[in-house]
């Protein structure tokens, strides 16, 4: 056994990003410092729950200390506050891993966000947990004794760039568990006042599933502040909105208000209780490719794991827990993923969450739109991944369209506005809403009053290709294949406005095709253009051009398909070019290439050959100068 006077502390440096982050937390970001206590209590509760789980297979870990507890110890004279638990504890290596690294997968994204949102209450949004202690303490000591171990360790840091790890005698540590000692800053001395700690615990941590006690001064008797009753086992009628919010913040590690609370008990063939929350704001790592769901699994109130895939990935923003009465307490984490019971729970909880979202959309459209604006791009992943629930998700989807005036529209709204002879739901994909609205490919649809969905999210290019339909109407890209608009009349069309293409224009289109050769798949007269001279589309059998770009950028496409150049046969420029004499062949050839480059530019691309484009443009402009 090591002793404190014969050991030398090991010094370690935080990662560079962590050092900067701690500085920002203390000096720039947070307006409400009370949240540090909730974070430390949540960590302590997790440690107690992990011990309960490990003790199922190894009861000796509990020893004679069977009841989990969290204790706040006040030492006002020395301006110290300690948060102690009798949970699983940490070994030396676990302390270095857990306390020396922060926000592993998203530190840089976190840094960018908090520098943009200075002054905001961001602590919960980013789950930085333990490190919030440095908002009120100029030094933090963590003493931990892992259950079943003969060693104890002291971790210490001032939060300014490094920390030390020192072996200590076990009699200097808790019998089991962890003690976090905060050496409070002078302006944080009020955190040694009983009434303030009691208020914070009841407001923010009153429903953690572990009792919380307070020792008002060294040697005093512990007094209970929270009884550790699991909120989710109570009937909904006995729980106030404030209690739900408090529990949400505790279990989700967020500091906002939940946008939706889903609490139900399933009975019958399988019995379980679910308490789930849709957050009111976007978690910073929502689009992290390694991010999984944040639903905890309990069995008879014993914490099992937070790694069970209870919800599909497109609902990964939902926070909460499931408590099963049917799973065995000794179930292994590996067996959980293969359990038929868990599959049934996953199906039931997923269906209920989507059902509650449907009810919210019907009963409170304004609140639902806020949820969609926050999580819509993630929910749309389900349109590609979850065939079984695709129609439900399509019903939940909301879109900006060419007819919505900036408002959100449902597909049911869209179907209700179909034009006579319209057989498809039309859409256009891209990366920018303003650019989509200005797409020349939309002109023919607007002139006929046909509504087009504007899809600016990357996932949109994938789900629309998955054979999706809504109420029997397939989805069709306005930038792919023929427009097929001839059967839908123009709005306020005048006689002769849709006249047959003249022979001279048809001849010009054929000459453009001959001039461009292998640069394009085809050149044809356009039904979709009414104002612009040209546009590019994909052929009927080719991949949509936006999807093609996404796959190319991801390195999953070696060569792109050649586009189709569509020419507006009634455009003044096209008619003028078509009427040029045979002696103007050089000009017609330059014009053919410039029309293609114009179409590329309008499609958000660059000319294929910038030098040739510049030379052709100069020749044409020179002809206009006397």
pLDDT tens for residues 57-110?
899 999 999 999 999 999 999 999 999 999 999 999 998 888 876 544 343 444
- Phi first, then psi, for residue 180 (nearest 5°) are -100, 115
Q: Residue 128, annotated ligand binder?
A: yes
Q: Residue 105, annotated ligand binder?
A: yes
Q: Where are the domains of the chain?
A: 4-226, 232-369, 503-538+559-623
- DSSP H/E element including 53: helix 35-57
Q: Residue 374, annotated ligand binder?
A: no
Give the tokens for residue 106.
Answer: 């998203």
Predicted confidence band at 121 (pLDDT cuts at 50, 70, 90)? very low
Average pLDDT, the chain: 86
- Per CATH, 4-226 and 503-538+559-623 having the same topology is answered no
The yes-or-no verdict on residue 491 having pLDDT over 90 is no
What pLDDT does 1 receive?
A: 42
Predicted confidence band at 128 (pLDDT cuts at 50, 70, 90)? low
Distances (CA, A) of 602 to 48, 508, 535, 596, 606: 61, 22, 7, 10, 9
Task: Name the fold adopted by 503-538+559-623.
Answer: 1.20.120
Q: Residue 14, annotated ligand binder?
A: no
Q: Residue 545, annotated ligand binder?
A: no
The yes-or-no verdict on residue 517 having pLDDT over 70 is yes
Q: Report the half-sphere exposure of 68 (CA within 13 A, side-chain side).
A: 28
- For the entire predicted model, the pTM comes to 0.71
- Phi first, then psi, for residue 480 (nearest 5°) are -140, 130
Spatial separation of the C-alpha atoms in residues 349 and 276, rounded to whole Å: 9
What pLDDT does 371 receive?
A: 97
Spatial separation of the C-alpha atoms in residues 105 and 289, rounded to whole Å: 9
Spatial separation of the C-alpha atoms in residues 450 and 494, rounded to whole Å: 18
The CATH number of domain 232-369, selected from 3.30.1330.60, 3.30.360.10, 3.30.230.80, 3.30.420.110: 3.30.230.80
Q: Residue 303, annotated ligand binder?
A: no
What pLDDT does 259 receive?
A: 96
Residue recorded with tokens 């590019």: 536
Q: Residue 129, annotated ligand binder?
A: yes
Q: Residue 472, annotated ligand binder?
A: no
**Alpha-helix runs per DSSP H in 288-396:** 333-338, 340-363, 365-379, 381-385, 390-396
Q: What is the pLDDT of residues 289-304, one digit of tens each?
A: 566 667 888 887 777 7
Q: What is the pLDDT of residues 615-625, one digit of tens each?
A: 999 999 988 88
Spatial separation of the C-alpha atoms in residues 180 and 186, rounded to whole Å: 18
Give the tokens for residue 448.
Answer: 């006929």
The yes-or-no verdict on residue 125 having pLDDT over 60 is no
The yes-or-no verdict on residue 592 having pLDDT over 50 is yes
Beta strands in 171-249 (DSSP E): 177-184, 212-215, 223-226
* The domain defined by 4-226 carries CATH number 3.30.565.10: yes
């Amino acid at each position: 056994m090591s002793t404190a006077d014969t050991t030398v502390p090991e010094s370690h440096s935080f990662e560079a990003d962590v050092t900067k982050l701690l500085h920002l937390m203390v000096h720039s970001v947070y307006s409400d410092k009370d949240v540090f206590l909730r974070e430390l209590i949540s960590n302590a509760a997790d440690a107690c729950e992990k011990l309960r789980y490990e003790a199922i297979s190894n009861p000796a870990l509990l020893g004679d200390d069977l009841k989990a507890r969290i204790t706040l110890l006040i030492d006002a004279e020395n301006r110290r506050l300690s948060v102690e638990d009798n949970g699983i504890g940490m070994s030396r290596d676990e302390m270095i891993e857990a306390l020396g690294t922060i926000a592993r997968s998203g530190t840089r994204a976190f840094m960018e966000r908090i520098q943009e949102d200075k002054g905001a209450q961001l602590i919960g949004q980013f789950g930085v947990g333990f490190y919030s202690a440095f908002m009120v303490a100029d030094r933090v000591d963590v003493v931990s004794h892992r259950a079943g171990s003969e060693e104890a360790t002291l971790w210490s840091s001032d939060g300014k760039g490094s920390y030390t790890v020192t072996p200590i005698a076990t009699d200097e540590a808790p019998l089991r568990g962890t003690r976090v000692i905060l050496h409070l800053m002078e302006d944080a001395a009020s955190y040694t006042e009983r009434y303030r700690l009691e208020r914070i615990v009841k407001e923010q941590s009153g429903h953690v599933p572990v009792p919380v006690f307070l020792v008002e001064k060294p040697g005093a008797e512990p007094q209970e502040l929270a009884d550790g009753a699991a909120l989710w086992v109570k009937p909904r009628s006995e729980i106030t909105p404030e209690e739900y919010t408090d529990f949400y913040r505790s279990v989700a590690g967020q500091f906002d208000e939940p946008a939706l609370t889903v609490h139900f008990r399933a009975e019958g063939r399988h019995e379980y209780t679910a308490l789930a929350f849709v957050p009111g704001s976007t978690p910073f790592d929502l689009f992290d490719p390694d991010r999984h769901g944040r639903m905890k699994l309990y069995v008879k109130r014993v914490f099992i794991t937070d790694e069970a895939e209870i919800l599909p990935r497109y609902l990964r923003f939902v926070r909460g827990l499931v408590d099963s009465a049917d799973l065995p307490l000794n179930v292994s984490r590996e067996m959980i993923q293969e359990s038929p019971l868990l599959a049934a729970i996953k199906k039931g909880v997923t269906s209920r969450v989507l059902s509650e979202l449907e009810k919210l959309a019907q009963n409170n459209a304004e609140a639902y739109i806020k949820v969609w604006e926050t999580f819509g791009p993630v929910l749309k992943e389900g349109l590609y991944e979850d065939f079984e629930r695709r129609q439900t998700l399509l019903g939940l989807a909301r879109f900006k369209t060419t007819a919505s005036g900036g408002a959100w529209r449902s597909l049911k709204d869209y179907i209700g506005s179909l034009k006579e002879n319209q057989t498809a739901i039309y859409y256009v994909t891209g990366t920018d809403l303003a650019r989509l609205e200005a797409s020349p490919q939309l002109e023919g649809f607007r002139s006929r009053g046909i509504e087009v969905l504007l899809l600016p999210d990357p996932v949109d290019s994938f789900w629309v290709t998955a054979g999706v339909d809504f109420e029997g109407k397939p989805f069709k890209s306005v930038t792919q294949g023929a427009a097929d608009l001839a059967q839908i009349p123009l709005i306020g069309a005048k006689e002769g406005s849709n006249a047959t293409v003249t022979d001279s224009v048809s001849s010009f289109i054929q000459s453009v095709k001959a001039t461009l050769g292998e640069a394009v798949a085809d050149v044809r007269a356009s039904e979709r253009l009414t104002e612009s001279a040209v546009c590019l589309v994909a052929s009927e059998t080719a991949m949509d051009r936006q999807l093609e770009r996404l796959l190319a950028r991801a390195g999953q496409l070696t060569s792109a398909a050649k586009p189709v150049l569509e020419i507006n046969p009634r455009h003044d420029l096209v008619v003028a070019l078509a009427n040029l004499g045979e002696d103007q062949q050089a000009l017609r050839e330059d014009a053919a290439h410039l029309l293609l480059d114009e179409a590329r530019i309008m499609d958000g691309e660059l000319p294929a050959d910038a030098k040739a484009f510049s030379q052709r443009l100069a020749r044409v402009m020179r002809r206009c100068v006397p």
